[in-house]
Amino acid sequence: MSDFLMKWFKGFETGINTLNQKEREKIFYKCGGNCVDTGVIKVYEKLL
């Protein structure tokens, strides 16, 4: 994974950790739906 993506994901993770459970649910519900709808989930599968 590129240095840019590693830093981006770390920043994202840090920000998500500041949210409460309900706030995280709202973000990941919309984010997850968008990933499925646009095919971005394939990018994440390749990272794992």
3-state secondary structure of 5: helix
Name the average pLDDT for the chain: 89
- The pTM of this model reads 0.58
b/e map 19-45, b = 16+ CB within 10 Å = eeeeeeeeeeeeeeeeeeeeeeeeeee
Q: Are 40 and 46 in contact (CB under 8 A)?
A: no
Amino acid symbol at 39 = G
How many domains is the chain built from?
A: 1
3-state secondary structure of 40: coil
Residue-wise pLDDT for 14-27, tens only, equals 999 999 999 999 98
Residue 20's domain comprises 3-47
Q: Quote the CA–CA distance of 48 and 45 in Å, as a whole number.
A: 5
